[in-house]
Amino acid sequence: MDIRELRNCLGRFATGVTVVTCNDGGHCHGLTANSFTSVSLDPPLVLVSIDRETKAFDKLKDNRFIVNILSADQQETAMHFAGKTCEELPFEWNETEYGHRIKGSLAYVECEPWAEYDGGDHVLFLGKVVNFDYQDGEPLGFYSGKFSKIVQE
Ligand SMILES: Cc1cc2nc3c(=O)[nH]c(=O)nc-3n(C[C@H](O)[C@H](O)[C@H](O)COP(=O)(O)O)c2cc1C
């Protein structure tokens, strides 16, 4: 199988963009992720699929995490947490009991660790939602390997 073509094929599934943050000792770690999925309402569960090669992988094990759902004007923030670190942070932090939230995000869900499943070169981290909030606004989209707009009818 041609893996690059498979990537191109799967990239036809348009998604939003999140930054998953968790505390590691005194530090906060964030990773841009579009694999975020809602799983269950009872109990309230969400999922992120994390590459075993990332730094986030070790930090998320048995740890609380926050999924920050990005708005259209947070593309620089998405790049910052995808390895293109900006010298000057393009956002502000909001510190909470569950870790660090990114101010100005469209929504956030704060999670307790629920389960981890083998996902090949990734691991599926399921979190139980313990707190959340959202606001109206334009989401940041990702389609075919590029950031994009999501237009509502
Ligand atoms: C739009 C976008 C979505 C991404 N989604 C994921 C994802 O769902 N899972 C993942 O492991 N990496 C994903 N990545 C890649 C990570 O953000 C990237 O490897 C990051 O630098 C890892 O950071 P870390 O090694 O400091 O934890 C995505 C990158 C971008 C730009």
Q: Across the 153 residues of the chain, what is the mean pLDDT of every consecutive 10-residue run?
A: 96 98 91 98 98 97 97 97 89 91 97 98 98 97 97 86
pLDDT of res. 153:
84
> What 8-state DSSP symbol labels residue 91?
S
Q: How far apart are the first and last CA of the chain?
A: 37
The DSSP output letter for 17 is -
pLDDT tens for residues 4-29? 999 999 999 999 999 999 998 888 99
Domain ranges of the chain: 3-149
Confidence (pLDDT) at 97: 83
Mutate to test the pocket of ligand 1, among 20, 31, 48, 60 (most ligand atoms within 8 A of CB): 31
Chain mean pLDDT for the chain = 96
Matching CATH number, 3-149, of 3.40.50.300, 2.60.40.1250, 3.40.1710.10, 2.30.110.10: 2.30.110.10
pLDDT for 106 equals: 98
Token pair in block for residue 33: 């992720």
Specify the DSSP element, H or E, that contains 25.
none
- In the structure encoding, which two tokens stand for residue 85, read together? 């670190």
